[in-house]
Structure 1
Amino acid sequence: MHDIRMIRDNPAAFDAALARLGVSGASSEVLAVDGKRREAISAAEAAQAERNAASKQVGAAKAKGDEAEFERLRALVGEKKDEIARLEEEAKALDAALRDLLLGLPNLPHEDVPDGADEADNREIRRWGEVPEFGFAPKEHYELPCAQGLDFETAAKLSGSRFVVMTGAMARLHRALAQFMLDVHTEENGLTEVIAPVLVREECMYGTNQLPKFAEDSYQTTNGWWLIPTSEVTLTNTAREEIVDASALPRRMTAHSQCFRSEAGSAGRDTAGMLRQHQFEKVEMVSVTHPDASMEEHERMTRCAEGILERLGLPYRTVVLCTGDMGFGARKTHDIEVWLPGQDTYREISSVSVCGDFQARRMNARFRPEGGGKPEFVHTLNGSGLAVGRCLIAVLENGQTAEGGVTLPQCLHPYLGGKSRITPEGVLE
């Protein structure tokens, strides 16, 4: 959410920043509602002052025996009471309208984010690894003989499309990947592991900007809880309504969780296999930082995610998203795209975003500066470290053999009881 004082002080700069995202003239509507709200508050305060003054004079008129003046003043007190109630209700409604307007506006892009319309305008930063060459036409993950443990038919019987049942080697490999990621992030990257609920209150979804804009992309229970689309929601909201000392920052967290998305806006996309599912697992990274450190932290988190792919030997490229492809709550985003031989292209496996104080204002998450002073809003960041299912896909496709088996990354062997490959029959050995 945006600082209304910033918009009042420099509406032209605010509009110019939003124009980069294709949003025009937002400040005029915001400031019109804000102006009416401030007028209602001022009028209510003036009416309260008049009521207080009249209340003091009522007793004096009674003491003097001036019945006419007494009745006039008493009537005035009653009128002002009604006027104050009306004005306060008007100010409350305008305050809600202003909040709704601000909640519906995206974050302002960082100055070094490239302008662009869509993913074609994203800017590549770097590549790592050699794209594998096969002496055969590589298959997609769900086509591999060894991937018989990815059961989409049974999943459809249980839950419908865009679900999967994993058994045997596939389930073991999926679990090993998540465990490997958590171990690296906690033991080498300095993140604290968290296990948190996957059902959250509505205010948590507002806090991390899933609501109101992305309501149709999420699932809500009949009693008002929301299923998290990512544990960014729970991890970031641990700072909600807190004031921490600056010395407690940064707060770096990671969690492995189930995630749920309706994929309402992706009809017809990636329907084959398990690339785009309604239920999936991610190892998420979240940092809560001092404002001065957030951009440096963004680079650090990107390297944490890239490091997982490097340890797995999976080729990838990292891009900075342009204004037209960037998420609603981000100031700047790095997408990490892993090479998928079966599709002959790079596909996103992690997005690492710095949000500035955008989410912190929604959550009222603040820190107390060293040496005292007025509390300030923290900065928040989030990123996949990594999407477990997509990582499974990448391991299968990049390690596939002509016979239909898969050679597994060495770093996973300890998590698989020393086993190093999956046979064409789907057996770990």
Structure 2
Amino acid sequence: MESNPTSKDPGIYLDYNATTPVDPEVFARIEPYLKQFFGNAASAAHHWGWAADNAATKARAQVASLIGAKPTEITFTSGATESNNWVIFGLISKIREENPYEPIHMITSCVEHASVIKAMEAAQKMNVEVDYLPVNLFGQVGVETVRKFIKPHTKLMSFIWVNNEIGSINPIVELAKLAKERKIYFHTDGTQAVGKIPVNVTEMGVDMMSFSGHKFYAPKGVGALYIRSKDPKVQINPFIYGGGQERGLRSGTVNIPGVVGLGTAAEICQRNMNLEPARMKSLRDLLWQKLQAAIPGVRMNGHATERSPINLSVTLPVTTDSILPQLQKLGISTGSACHTGTMTISHVLNGIGLNSEEAQCTLRLSVGRWTTEDEVLRAVEILQNAIPRKNV
């Protein structure tokens, strides 16, 4: 939900998991590439094109540095949804190009982002075998559970790094190690990890990782896919064909303002990595402590400690629908949505064992770069006042 952006009091934004505002430094770096440096990076005959190409090269290095990769391992995309789809369908295409009759099996979990789950469902219609693994009560994938599902023809494991709804962190290092032992490609949706917690794909053994810029203060519509270049060298086919941009891996005119923003945002996150996650965690913990004191019976969803520093998913003693009119000044997300009279429950909440009624009582609150302690305290007060006295 959003507060009225035209209001003199826009409210308190606590939905940084959903998207982030563009950092002013990012905006300042982007602006020249919307005006004087507007060239096409593929135009090699003049300085407008050279300037654009140089900007993309710099941005690629900035993004690679943030995640511990080589610049040549970074391919720019429109965001994590495209990157997630590309991993799945690009791998299927590559395997079937080499052997049309080779069986393909993929493993994922029941609490992945929709862009992974829906793509996997589409892959099943292409005669790809997929297992959607259960998770523990915190929404985490168990390494031994994964081991039981591996088959001789398993080609891909894909597990979200940090859950976008409940904030729990998966044991990525252990999962990637298992995949490497069994010679299976390992992909992770790192959208809620990149820029928020330390990430080093080389040291952690990740083969492919998707992420979006708008989750860490870059513009919407730009992201990347990391593809490991050796040990093993990952080979997947392009998902978008055309003029051969991005080393032939992802055709289409490169979004120079977008990638400049992505690179700058990555640079800022790397610069602040020693301080910002700790500050976010402190605000998140304060929010949880104050909610516990103000609302008896409130429960946290996800792991208490192995979680994103910005995320807090809570189940209240009342349904969110019953109090939403009193929460118009809060930018937050709910665990259910009503479409054309039908209540849709989050598959993530369902996956960790919450029933329909509990899901309808669940909120996701997430802090960010511009969240203040005062805003946290005022948000708790708003929530407390919205709940009927008999429930407080």
TM-score bin, normalised by smaller chain: under 0.3
What is the TM-score of this pair, normalised by structure 2?
0.25
- Structure scoring higher RCO (CA < 8 A, sep ≥ 6) equals 2
Q: TM-score, structure 1 length as denominator? A: 0.23
* Higher Cα radius of gyration: 1
